[in-house]
Amino acid sequence: MSTLEAFGTSTRAVHDGERRHQTSDAITTPIHQTATYWFKNSEELRAYQEGRLDRDEYGRYGNPTVRAVERKLASMEHADEALLFASGMCATTTTFLALLPRGSHLILTRDGYRRTRQFCDEFLSKMDVSVSVIDPANIEAFEAAITDDTSIFFTELPTNPYLRVLDLPAAARIARKRGIKVIVDSTFATPALHRALDDGADLVVHSATKYLGGHNDLLAGAAVGGRKLIESVRNALGILGGIIAPNDAYLLLRGMKTLDLRMERHNQNALSVARFLEGHDKIRRVFYPGLASHPDYEVAGRLLRGFGGVVTFEVEGDYEATVRFVDRCRIPYIAPSLGGVESLIEMPVLMSYWDQTPEARRRFGITDSLVRFSCGIEDTVDLINDLEQALRAV
């Protein structure tokens, strides 16, 4: 747990996990660029093997730079421990493999990252794990989907791309009565906007590539939670080997220190963009939990300390009209991902679902005119002016 319990998230993000663990007078934690660690003698190795000496042995099992990030993230999430991975998908898949028994049952929401669903369909089925998919934010559907074999309920909060917000405390109460673990992908919220563990989740996972890193220059993932569950996942990581590199951990450590500041600007930009788009006659519909028109507006206002930097919307036109709009934007890059200081824009049908049939796209709500806009930290007025001029192409 935190060494700075009396302080806020931003103070913890700057100092915790490092201040009491420095081995030199440097303010910044160094990059420990090493694959292995040496022992002074055999007795020291024996003490390590018997748990009497806390240190590192081999890079797949730990690294001082990585440990600093893990301590910091655990503090920010109000958790016992955190564990870093090579990517967000690695965090999710390793956690599933570690915690889902053969023949068990998993519940997840329909609106969510496509690769997570693919892993469930293509790999968990080989473990005889059955999967039920429910509508996002539907507590009744969640309760109805529970069976005697249900082990895990997995949801994003908010979800991707429609930004649905589940009533997590209500779902957690149901899950706890049935002995079901609740895992929340908090990539879009981060601990700056929501601490899912405080609302009843058992584990939180992140694609730290996004807001935690914040600069579109690293790949990383994380799992955060209670000591017992994290140790189970840590043991699996030691076998599966999806570890983060020390240099990426250093970049992540640097990025996390400004998380609160960046999220304030992301929130401000996204809310302003969402309001502008909702009032524009070239936009059919806007999906943003900070708007009263969003189906989960009330729940989001109760759970979140801000509504995030992603705005999803439908252009009033067909595929070609939407392409003209996207191509005419001057500030955002056409690119996958989100959460960096640069604004990014994409059409999910083209970026993530181009290989799917129209029927499959419709099943997941992916239309030809759908756009996902990840607001960076540029000046708000510049983003709105750019969108306004681009919409003239529709």
Mean pLDDT for back-to-back runs of 10 residues, the chain (394 residues): 65 78 76 94 96 92 95 96 98 98 96 93 94 92 96 97 97 97 98 98 98 97 98 97 97 97 98 98 98 98 98 96 98 97 96 87 90 98 98 94
Between CA 191 and CA 183 the distance in angstroms is 15
In the prediction, which pLDDT does 2 show?
Answer: 46
Burial 175-210 (b: 16+ CB within 10 A, else e): beeeebbbbbbbbbbbbbbbbbbebbbbbbbbbbbb
What amino acid occupies position 201? A
Topology of domain 9-256 in CATH is: Aspartate Aminotransferase; domain 2 (3.40.640)
Phi/psi of residue 345, each to 5°?
-135, 145
In the prediction, which pLDDT does 256 show?
Answer: 97
In the prediction, which pLDDT does 19 show?
Answer: 64
Cβ-proximal residues to 316 (8 Å cutoff; 6+ apart), any chain: 281, 282, 283, 284, 369, 394
The answer to whether the beta carbons of residues 300 and 165 sit under 8 Å apart is yes
In the prediction, which pLDDT does 21 show?
Answer: 65
pTM: 0.93
List active site positions: 60, 113, 185, 210
Domain boundaries along the sequence of the chain: 9-256, 259-391
Between CA 29 and CA 260 the distance in angstroms is 20
In the prediction, which pLDDT does 14 show?
Answer: 85
Asked whether the domain spanning 259-391 has the same topology as the one spanning 9-256, the reply is no
Other C-beta atoms lying within 10 Å of the C-beta of residue 27: 8
CATH of domain 259-391: 3.90.1150.10
